Structure 1
């Protein structure tokens, strides 16, 4: 592998930040005018592409994120049940009682804070709304990950011969071909 210039090495590292070649080129020191072209050009160079793969692999090993981790997280999200955070009376459990998957995966919480006395020493926080992950999108990602393809239209085509049997294939001489063609054209009702 050819040694990369310091600017090319910086491009590779910056590319991993947001996978945007133009922005990576600018951050690596290329001019804004040529950033788009240089970013695209850099990505097409085998040595740079190989270095980006090396850096991605090293990063994934450092943070221990791989296909198994992603699949496990998708399964955890799919198995989230609102009963995990509700008390028997329908009220919400305290946050520290929630399973970790709930605390780390929610998209948002709307909390209303009210002051219950005038000296502002007593406040009450009321959870008004919980926004949890899109379960359908999560199932799509799971399906793609394990190649279920449940959300893809499935169509099959089969070619069969006479009475559903196999298609007969035969090598014809030029003269046999011409004869067969004449017979087909004679039988054609069009």
Structure 2
């Protein structure tokens, strides 16, 4: 009995070895590579990496500090390659916020040809509708008319700017006056003391 108790104590004292210095497996490396491609779908990354139970594998992987570190390394490398930084993201958001419909209109209110639009308009539109009409039956000339354009959601864009620069413009704030709170508590305590027949000293 003493021997068994001693073994239990020794076993409890021995800590499991940390895995943080052990290299990750080839399959885990594939998971990291796939995760960087689609960071919003961990299970899909695990499936493409070859795991039989993608949901369980993804959950297990994301708890491993080695995997987290490797994913961070890969994302940092990718951002450097693409020259994407926090400044770049903020600059693009500000450009979108400053888009003005007058940039793509002629003085008479008609749309300018797309080739004459500023680059921010050409690269940021959410969608557009074109219609084609035959101008001359003999020459088969076709005129393409831009009927409708859909530009980015400006409110959503402002929210992203607000989050990016941490102005907390869209957070509800709750201000508490600590002095009033303490004063109220002291007054309530006095009333309770007087109710029990104590003095107010």
Same fold (TM over 0.5): yes
**Matching residue within 55, 68, 71 for 2:87:** 68
- Residue pairs, 1:83-102, within 5 angstroms: 83-102=102-121
- Residue pairs, 1:86-165, within 5 angstroms: 86-119=105-138, 121-160=140-179
TM-score, with structure 1 as normaliser: 0.83
Partner of 1:30: 51
**Matching residue within 37, 40, 46 for 1:17:** 37
Partner of 2:12: none
Following superposition, the deviation at residue 66 of structure 1 comes to 1.1
Partner of 2:26: 6
User: Using the alignment, how far apart are the partners of 1:152 and 1:111 within structure 2?
Assistant: 40
Q: RMSD over aligned Cα, in angstroms?
A: 2.0
User: Using the alignment, how far apart are the partners of 1:184 and 1:93 within structure 2?
Assistant: 76
Give unpaired runs (5+ residues) of structure 1: 168-180
Following superposition, the deviation at residue 3 of structure 1 comes to 1.3
Taking structure 1 as reference, are residues 111 and 160 closer, same or farther at Cα in structure 2, changes over 3 Å only?
same
1:97-140 CA-to-partner distances (Å, cap 9, x unmatched) read 11000000000111111112324620011111010000011111
Taking structure 1 as reference, are residues 36 and 89 closer, same or farther at Cα in structure 2, changes over 3 Å only?
same
TM-score, with structure 2 as normaliser: 0.79
Q: Name the count of aligned residue pairs.
A: 170
User: Using the alignment, how far apart are the partners of 1:186 and 1:7 within structure 2?
Assistant: 70
1:38-91 CA-to-partner distances (Å, cap 9, x unmatched) read 111011101111000000000000001111000000000000000101111111
User: Using the alignment, how far apart are the partners of 2:69 and 2:167 within structure 1?
Assistant: 31
Give unpaired runs (5+ residues) of structure 2: 1-20, 184-188, 197-201
